[in-house]
Copies of this chain bind each other. A is one copy, B any other.
Amino acid sequence: AQKDPKGWTSPQKVLAPPMVYITGEEMTHYAMQLILAQWIKPHVDTTKWEFFDLSCKARDESEDKVLHDAVAAGARIGAIFKEPTITPTTQQAHAMGLKKGWGSPNGAMRKGWNGVTISRDTIHIEGVELGFKRPVLFDRHAVGGEYGAGWAHTGTGRLMTTFFPDDHSLHPVIIDARRLDNASNVAVVYHNPLDNVREMAHHFFGRCLEMKVVPFVVTKKTVFKWQEPFWKTHKDVFDEFYKDQFKAEGLLDTTDGELAHLISDAATMQIIRWTKGGFGMSAHNYDGDMLTDEIAQAHRSPGFITSNLMGVAADGRAIKEFEASHGTVSDLWYAHLVGKPTSLNPLGLAEALMGAMSHSGVLAGHEAKLRVDRYVDCLRRALHATFRAGEGTQDMVGEGQKGKTTEEFIDTVAKRLSQYIARDLDKEQELLEYAGTTFKPKAVFSASMAEAVDRDALLEVFKEFADSSGETEQPTTLTFDQFEQLMVRLGAAPVKNPSRISSAREV
Contacts and interface: CB of A to CB of B under 8 A. Distances in A.
Interface of A: 129, 133, 146-147, 149-167, 173, 175-178, 180-195, 214, 220, 223-227, 229, 254-255, 260, 262, 264-266, 268-276, 279, 286-287, 289-294, 296-298, 442-443, 454, 457, 461-466, 468-469, 472-474, 476-483, 485-487, 490-495, 497-502, 505
Given A151-B176, A272-B297, A479 B469 contact: yes
Given A161-B189, A466-B476, A478-B466, A147 B272 contact: no
A495 B275 CA distance: 7
Contacts of A274: 495, 498
A295 to B, nearest CB: 9
A152 B163 contact: yes
Contacts of A487: 490, 492
15 contacts: A133-B494, A146-B223, A149-B176, A151-B226, A155-B167, A159-B191, A160-B161, A176-B189, A187-B190, A254-B498, A265-B289, A268-B268, A287-B290, A462-B478, A472-B479
Nearest to A186: B226
B193 A182 contact: yes
Given A466-B482, A494-B133, A161 B150 contact: yes
A185 to B, nearest CB: 5
Contacts of A297: 268-269, 272-273
Contact of A187 (B163, B287, B495): B163
Contact of A482 (B181, B266, B465): B465
A137 to B, nearest CB: 15
A195 B474 CA distance: 63
Contacts of A156: 165-166
Contacts of A454: 276
A506 to B, nearest CB: 11
A161 B494 CA distance: 49
Q: Could you say how many copies of this chain the assembly holds?
A: 2
Given A297-B272, A501-B273, A186 B192 contact: yes
A203 B495 CA distance: 28
Contacts of A462: 476, 478
Contacts of A480: 474, 476
A78 to B, nearest CB: 23
Given A150-B161, A276-B495, 10 more contacts: A133-B494, A151-B176, A152-B176, A158-B163, A161-B162, A272-B491, A273-B491, A465-B483, A478-B483, A490-B490
A468 B474 CA distance: 18
A489 to B, nearest CB: 9
A441 to B, nearest CB: 9
B180 A191 contact: yes
Closest 3 CB pairs of A and B: A150-B176, A254-B499, A269-B297
